[in-house]
Chains A and B, each alone.
Chain A
Amino acid sequence: MTAPDRPAARGPLRRVLSDPIGLSAALVLTAIVVACLGATLWAPYDPLATDLTASLQGPSSAHLLGTDQLGRDVLSRLLHGGQPSLLAAACVMAAALVVGVPVAMAAGYHGGWLDALVSRVVDLGMALPAMIIVLLVLALFGDQLIFSYLALGLLLVPALVRIVRSATVAVRGELFIDAAKVSRVPLPLLVARHIFPRILGTVVVQASIIASIGLLFTTGLAYLGFGVTAPEPSWGTMVAEASSVMRQNPTMLWATGGLIGVTVLALGSLGEVVRDALVERWAPAASSPGPRRPRTSGVASRPVSPRAATGPAPRPRDDAVLAVGSMTVAYGPGEGTAVVDAVSFDVGPGEIVGLVGESGCGKSTVARAVLGLLRGSGRITGGSVGFAGEDLAAMSRRELRALRGTGIAFVSQEPMVALDPTRRVGDTVAEAVRLHTGCSRAQARARTEELFARVRFADPARVCGLYPHEISGGMAQRVAIARALAGGPRLLVADEPTTALDVTVQLEILTLLRDLRDQTGLSILLVTHDWGVVADLCDRAVVMYAGQVVETAPTDRLFTAPRHPYTAGLLGANPSLADRGERLRTIPGSVPPPADWPATCRFADRCALATDQCRATPVPLAAVDAHASRCLHADRVAAPRPTEPAR
């Protein structure tokens, strides 16, 4: 509970009014509505009082907006005319909401046949030419305008249903709905408490849009002469009157159209601000302590630490394919919050290095930074990324691009979403082949089939012709690997390549990666949180905690004799090392968010070995045996118990 309570407790109304756009929209709209409703109280003139001696005057102190052809005061007529105009819009909105929202919620929540039926009707309704049907109603119902307004409202129902329905469907799939059902929350309460508040934002925006359309449509009808009868004012009829005298009194045209426009503008803006205020408490805030949630407030927003503080980093090997040196990555405005802090490690030729840690430790950020694929405001703010004798961190975007695929390739965690869904998988790979080699289409196709055979597809030609939605996760990951190989890279960066896969498929992919390394001497930087993957595949592991490297060691050394308490703790927490009857060893607490990282040992608060010294000075990464460890008590770290053999 380190995070402070979010302002969710503050009411949506307060939030709307504290937003400058929300406040001004609310004020404008209120002013217009109040001014029009109370027109009889404060309109300066009788809207019907003609004064032919004062016809078509421009704005003056007597007539703020001038007079019309019959010398009637334009301002007074606008205020009085607002009543039927706004009322018409309100009728349209009410009709649409009363019918549309329940239907949409029922269809979206119930699903099945009801949803199918409603969808069909909506498709039909969306294709009806609303304006003509309204004219038809007008032709038949003569001067009973209310019917045409209701008809218009009903004609807007299909569009409303479409949007509210999909919002409902999205909520229906939420687990908290299932949780409420398991607790047998009755349906009315379920809807009132869990579903309706969630879609309210959508409904509000749609209501504001429908009211706007209603106002534009009904004033349009009035402009055409289908509105209140002659001497009575309404906004639409006044536009028509203004149009006939626009040369003599242009103010009248600007005032009438402008008022309609301002009203719609205020309605629309208010709708969106209210929606944002309502949606805010549903936002998935405070999820994983990832880099995309930089916090500006909070305890001691740490500046990026100077490189000297981390002590002498272990020297990179001379033949390293990748040599990351004191790389720092920051997110957020200004100096930013460092989420990766002076990280150093290297990957040798043909070596598989595991980058291990829990979520939020910065391991994926490191992988993306190496490729120059940081998201959002992320950027490398210090250090170097050495590859093939050059510093990638200092390269231009164009140079970096030329290196991607041919020098360094990338395989991501979710294989299915890594492929363009509109393209056959063979084409995606063949295009990459052509980009890297500049060969002909036929050659690229042949090379693609070769690559597919290499990742063990039994029938490469068939796989080439499949779309991403036609293949399984395991196949997709093999396609991704084939694609990564297309440019003959020296280094493959794989970000949790098996996390989304079933265990049997995972084993196949790991086998494939290992064979590729053995056959081609490819170097692999493998990001993972799974000790099993490290144990299976990696020659060496780099353990990260809170944005720093805390330990690096050859894999077998790391597992048998870890030299950092975090490594030891994580290994001990693994249930495969425990017996059914006993408790798991745990690390108390959880990883602090980046803004709370101290300059001293970042693990001290969760560490049994911590002493005052750990909390006094920054702890450098230092060589211990074959390890590098960021711990002052590296010699006191206990090994996890050995695994019992054989299963």
Chain B
Amino acid sequence: MVRLILRRLAWSVPLLVVATMLAFLIVDLIPGDPARVILGPTATAEQVEALRVSLGLDRPWFVQYLAWLGDALRGDLGTSVISKTPVIDQLNARLPATLSIVVGATVVSAVLGVALGVFSAVRGGWAGRAADVFAMLGFAIPNYWLGLVLVAVVAVQLRWLPATGYTPLTESPWEWLKALILPVITLAVGGVTMIAKNTREALRDVLARDFIDSLRADGWSESRILVRHALRNAGIPIVTAIGVFFVGVLGGTVLVESVFAIPGLGGLAVAATPAHDLPVLLGVTVYFCTLVVIVNLLVDVTYGVLNPKVRAA
């Protein structure tokens, strides 16, 4: 088990390297001068040259990358082109808001999704068909649009919850919770339906397997077979679906934070894009990748707990 974790940790290093290297490669591949793109046509040649030097663009891309990597390892992710403040400070300031909605949406999706999936798998018939329809709907509704509708109905018309904004947990837990409800619902709708569908399929596969019949022949009750045996065996695809959803929901924050005006990492990335603020975008990439690495590690450890074969491998 420890070996499994260590191997997975070792595997996460190349992921971070490749993801960030990719960014430098893209920068290098652009036809034309990134510094000129960043500053726009009105800047003077001197200004462009100064920015080139300060961004290190005058050196080959891998030299730039190694320099950036060296700084990053020391906790320095550069300075924002727009705000001129250290990127890492901005990221740390905005991380809690993003984490709140991402973790919230994942937990809500996992709990409701698994519950719904189990219900529809066991009941079959109309419940199964309903689960399929909901899965399709949950996938089809654009989440940013759903967010807007929720704001219009719940916040503006009914005035039950704040429409936009975010209050840190440390300031007021109650306000924090209220601010999270709508964004979390917005993100979780797709997650609940997707995880429910995956759970249902995995569980139905397991329930059709021979060992379930053998357990019935032992005289076990259906509910005990479901809880103690079927769910555990269906666990790997379910956990995989939850992990995949987490990665997807990170991207979803880009839109949802904009809809709800939440000061998180996604919103930061959106603001940085038209301003060509590369250091900020790179920083967000690093943070998101790190989150993915952590979640994948958790997923792998869960695999090991669920399946003795994985543990042995």
- Bound pair (A, B): yes
Residues of A within 8 A of B (CB): 123-124, 126-133, 135-142, 212, 216, 219-220, 223-226, 239, 242-243, 246-247, 250, 253, 256-257, 260-262, 264-265, 268-269, 371, 373, 375, 401-406, 409-410, 412, 414, 417-423, 432, 435-436, 467, 469, 480, 483-484, 486-487
**By the criterion CB–CB under 8 Å, are B285 and A132 in contact?**
yes
- With A135-B270, A265-B136, A484-B217 known, 11 other A-B pairs at CB within 8 A are A126-B247, A130-B251, A131-B254, A136-B282, A223-B255, A239-B148, A247-B156, A253-B149, A256-B145, A269-B136, A410-B217
Q: A225-B274, A250-B152 are in contact. Are A420 and B229 (CB under 8 A)?
A: yes
**Residues of chain A contacted by B148 (CB below 8 angstroms):** 239, 242-243, 246, 253, 257
Whole-angstrom CA separation of A409 from B214 in the bound complex? 9
In the complex with contacts A404-B218, A412-B213, A414-B210, A136-B141 CB distance below 8 A? no
In the complex, the answer to whether A264 meets B277 with C-beta atoms within 8 Å is no
0/1 per residue, B239-277, Cβ < 8 Å to A? 000001001001110110011000000100110111111
Q: How far is the CB of A292 from chain B (nearest CB, A)?
A: 11
Chain A proximity of B219: nearest CB distance (Å): 4
Q: Of all chain B residues, which has the CB nearest A486?
A: B218
- One of B142, B219, B285, B309 near A404 (C-beta < 8 A): B219
In the complex, which residues of chain A have a beta carbon less than 8 angstroms from the beta carbon of B277? 139
Structural contact, B217 and A128, CB atoms closer than 8 A: no
Q: How far is the CA of A222 from the CA of B97 in the complex (A)?
A: 24
Known A132-B285, A257-B141, A421-B309; contact A404-B216, beta-carbon cutoff 8 A = yes
**Contacts from B to A (Cβ < 8 Å):** 11, 14-15, 18-19, 22-23, 26-27, 30, 34, 37, 136-137, 139-146, 148-149, 152, 156, 209-211, 213-221, 229, 232-233, 244, 247, 250-252, 254-255, 258-259, 266, 269-270, 272-278, 281-282, 284-285, 288-289, 292-293, 296, 306-309
Closest CB-CB distance, A236 to chain B, in whole Å?
Answer: 8
Nearest 4 CB-CB pairs, A to B?
A: A131-B251, A257-B145, A410-B217, A129-B288
Closest to A406 in B: B219
Judging by beta carbons under 8 Å apart, are A136 and B26 in contact? yes
In the bound complex, what is the Cα–Cα distance between A262 and B216 (angstroms)?
44
- In Å, the complex CA distance between A483 and B258 comes to 59
In the complex, chain B residues whose CB is within 8 Å of the CB of A261? 137, 140-142, 145
Cβ 8 A contact of A135, one of B252, B273, B296: B273
Between A and B, 19 residue pairs with Cβ closer than 8 Å are A129-B292, A131-B266, A132-B281, A135-B281, A140-B26, A140-B37, A224-B254, A224-B255, A226-B273, A239-B148, A373-B213, A373-B216, A401-B216, A401-B221, A410-B214, A418-B210, A418-B214, A420-B233, A422-B307
Known: A136-B23, A421-B233. A265 touches B156 (CB 8 A): no
| A225 vs B254: C-alpha distance when bound (angstroms) | 12
Find out whether the CB atom of A412 lies under 8 angstroms from the CB atom of B308. no
* Chain B residue at minimal CB-CB distance from A487: B219
Task: Kindly state the separation between the CA atoms of A139 and B281 in the bound complex, as whole angstroms.
Answer: 9
Q: Are A128 and B136 in contact (CB under 8 A)?
A: no
Assess whether B139 is in contact with A212, with CB atoms less than 8 Å apart. Answer: yes
Q: Which secondary structure characterizes the binding site on chain B?
A: helix
A405 touches B14 (CB 8 A): no
A130 vs B285: C-alpha distance in the bound complex, in angstroms?
10
A247 CA / B148 CA spacing, docked (Å): 11
Question: For B22, what are the chain A residues with a Cβ–Cβ distance below 8 Å?
Answer: 128, 133
Kindly state the separation between the CA atoms of A435 and B217 in the bound complex, as whole angstroms: 12
* CA gap between A417 and B212 in the complex, in Å: 9
Give the shortest distance, in Å, between A461 (CB) and chain B (any CB).
18
CB of B211 within 8 A of CB of A419, answer: yes
Q: Which residues of B contact A136 (CB under 8 A)?
A: 23, 26, 273, 278, 281-282, 285
B61 → A minimal CB distance (Å): 13
Residue contact B219 to A128, C-beta cutoff 8 Å: no
Question: Across the interface, which residues of B come within 8 angstroms of A404, CB to CB?
Answer: 216-219
How many whole Å from B291's CB to the nearest CB in chain A? 8
**A371: nearest chain-B partner, CB-CB:** B217
Q: How far is the CB of B218 from chain A (nearest CB, A)?
A: 5
Check A409 against B217 for contact (C-beta < 8 Å). yes
Complex formed: what's the CA distance from A327 to B310 in Å? Answer: 46
**Are the CB atoms of B140 and A401 closer together than 8 Å?**
no
Q: Which residues of A contact B211 (CB under 8 A)?
A: 417-421
Query: A127 contacts B142, CB within 8 Å?
Result: no
Interface centre among A124, A135, A268, A487 (most CB of B within 10 A): A135
> Roughly how many angstroms separate A219 CA and B145 CA in the complex, as a whole number?
10
Which of B209, B232, B284, B296 lies in contact with A132, CB distance below 8 A?
B284
Check if A140 sits within 8 Å of B276, measured CB to CB.
yes
Q: Please, how many angstroms separate the alpha-carbon atoms of A123 and B7 in the complex?
A: 14
Q: Are B141 and A129 in contact (CB under 8 A)?
A: no
Q: How far is the CA of A302 from the CA of B217 in the complex (A)?
A: 32
Tell which of A269, A373, A422, A432 has the most Cβ of chain B within 10 Å: A422
Q: Which residue of chain A is the closest to B156 with respect to CB atoms?
A: A247
The CA of A141 and the CA of B251, in the complex, are separated in Å by 20
Using Cβ atoms and an 8 Å threshold, which residues of chain B touch A225? 274
Chain B residues with CB under 8 A of A243: 148, 259
Give the residue of A403, A410, A422 whose beta carbon is less than 8 angstroms from that of B232: A422
For B274, list chain A residues within 8 Å (CB). Answer: 139, 225-226
Query: What's the Cα separation between A402 and B14 when bound, in Å?
Result: 56
Q: What's the Cα separation between A373 and B292 when bound, in Å? A: 45
The residues of B that contact A264 with a CB separation of less than 8 Å are: 139-140
A146 to B176, CA, bound (A): 39
A142 near B37 with CB under 8 A, answer yes
Q: How far is the CA of A436 from the CA of B219 in the complex (A)?
A: 8
A285 shortest CB reach to chain B, Å: 18
Do B306 and A132 touch across chains, with their CB atoms under 8 A apart? no
Q: For residue A423, which residue of chain B has the nearest CB?
A: B229
Q: Using Cβ atoms and an 8 Å threshold, which residues of chain A touch B15? A: 124, 127
The answer to whether B278 and A139 touch across the interface, beta carbons within 8 angstroms, is: yes
Residues of A within 8 A of B14 (CB): 124
With A140-B26, A239-B142, A421-B233 in contact, is A253–B214 under 8 Å at CB?
A: no
Say how far B212's CB is from chain A's closest CB, in angstroms.
9
- Tell me the nearest residue of chain A to B292, going by C-beta: A127
Residue of A nearest to B288 (CB): A129
